[in-house]
Amino acid sequence: MMPAPGDNRPQLRVGMIGYSFMGAAHSQGWRVAPRFFDLPTLPVMKTIVGRNEQAVSAAATNLGWQTYSTDWRSAVTSDDLDLIDVCTPGDTHAEIAIAALEAGKHVMCEKPLANTVEEAEAMAKAAEKAAQSGVFSVVGFTYRRVPAVALARQLIAEGKIGAIRQVRAQYLQDWLSDENAPLSWRLDKKKAGSGALGDIGAHIIDLTQFMTGEEITGVTGMLETFVNERPTAVESSGLSGTAGEERGQVTVDDAALFLARFSGGAVATFEATRYAWGRKNAIRIEINGTKGSVAFDFEDMNVLHFFDSSDDPQTGGYRRILATEDVHPYIHAWWPPGHGLGYEHGFVHQAADVVRDISNNQQPRPSFADGLAVQRVLAAVEESSNSGTTWTQIRK
């Protein structure tokens, strides 16, 4: 966003590394946030970075960035930028984020934080050191910022469902159900770190810890790869591509299932798969407590279901809350009640929250330490699956 004439607010000049699916979503966030939220600092979409000059030049024009570059190392040390937004595959997160923090730049990094616990630990350490000088970092777990999810966290924190007993979490997609769908970097362990486990399982790990306010302390898991070989992609964009005649190896999991225990004693089941025909982006979370329950499904993202066990049994049942009232999180900036929000609004809320926190010299959440906590759960699930271990404690 370019400052309007007479806008004298301080600026937060953003440089973004990457321009595909996540790059477009993050661009939407930076572009729209200052137009709907009253922010003390104006985010300015300064520079977008990518390896292919022709493609990144087109992305700069299409997505609204002032300039483009093909050199991320120059970007992270540029005097023209204040924040680096990392939207690249996982194998590059640590190098880019640490370099940016050491150069005094705030950092936003897509999830999962890294490909290994060791990388995530290095990133969290760099973030902790940078924060001492007022330089902050945040992980892009944007589903936290869906109003119905944020409302669920509020209700749980207020004790509306009592002490938590059970958690059920699923992330179901079908974009790999066709075994002839082409390879992408998300199916390469060297680039992605893991498959369904890290790509989408990381989200429900973060969401359940966010909603409950508790940590996962141990897991027992199983990973499965259904299709070991796929056509190589001739062209790819986001989650789709065009299949070629050659074939390559799939080196990540297609589905991840695990049991877990939370720090408050609750037990949990988790499932992440990209092989659930008919499920496009079904993030399903149900949390049962001693007084009631909450339930959420992202495919009906404006709705939260709430059950209060103290209701009269004659009329009791799950209450359908349309989370579009001014009293619900983030909604005050948007439309009249009943006019729902979409996927892209989470990125707008993320940008607004990050800008406010940095302006107030406070740590945005989820922090790199939060991202490291998720990474440790991912590693424990993989360790449990590979070793056949009945129970794996989360190491800290």
pLDDT of residue 126 exceeding 90, the answer is yes
The confidence band for 78, taking pLDDT boundaries of 50, 70 and 90, is: very high
* pLDDT value of residue 2: 65
The confidence band for 37, taking pLDDT boundaries of 50, 70 and 90, is: very high
**Cα–Cα dist 92/97, whole Å:** 8
Q: Where are the domains of the chain?
A: 11-142, 148-341
309-354 confidence digits (pLDDT tens)? 999 999 999 999 999 999 999 999 999 999 999 999 999 999 999 9
One-letter amino acid at 320 equals R
Higher pLDDT, 72 or 244: 72
Q: How far is the CA of 378 from the CAs of 94, 117, 182, 197, 219, in angstroms? A: 17, 9, 25, 7, 10
* pLDDT value of residue 241: 61
Q: How far is the CA of 114 from the CAs of 118, 256, 260, in angstroms? A: 9, 18, 22
259-277 confidence digits (pLDDT tens)? 999 999 999 999 999 999 9
Cα-Cα-Cα-Cα dihedral sign, residues 62, 65, 70, 76: negative
**In the numeric block, which tokens belong to residue 183?**
């390879």
**Cα–Cα dist 317/309, whole Å:** 8
* pLDDT value of residue 106: 98
Mean pLDDT rounded to a whole number for the chain: 96
pLDDT of residue 143 exceeding 70, the answer is yes
pTM (2 decimals)? 0.95
pLDDT of residue 75 exceeding 70, the answer is yes
354-376 confidence digits (pLDDT tens)? 999 999 999 999 999 999 999 99
* pLDDT value of residue 244: 64
The confidence band for 59, taking pLDDT boundaries of 50, 70 and 90, is: very high
Among the residue ranges 199-203, 245-249, 382-386, the one predicted with the least confidence is 245-249
* pLDDT value of residue 243: 66
- According to CATH, the topology of domain 11-142 is Rossmann fold (3.40.50)
Question: How do the residues of the chain divide into helix, strand and coil, expressed in percent and rounded to 5?
Answer: 35, 30, 35
| Whole-number percent of the chain with pLDDT over 90 | 93
**Cα–Cα dist 346/196, whole Å:** 21
205-256 confidence digits (pLDDT tens)? 999 999 999 999 999 999 999 999 999 976 555 555 666 678 999 999 999 9
Residues 6 or more apart from 54 whose CB is under 8 A from it? none
Which segment, 178-187, 359-368, 383-392, is predicted with the most confidence on average? Answer: 359-368
* pLDDT value of residue 389: 86
Cα-Cα-Cα-Cα dihedral sign, residues 257, 261, 263, 264: positive
pLDDT of residue 150 exceeding 70, the answer is yes
pLDDT of residue 123 exceeding 60, the answer is yes
Task: Report, at the CATH architecture level, how domain 148-341 is classified.
Answer: 2-Layer Sandwich (3.30)
**Cα–Cα dist 311/291, whole Å:** 10
The confidence band for 110, taking pLDDT boundaries of 50, 70 and 90, is: very high
The confidence band for 7, taking pLDDT boundaries of 50, 70 and 90, is: confident
**Cα–Cα dist 39/1, whole Å:** 13
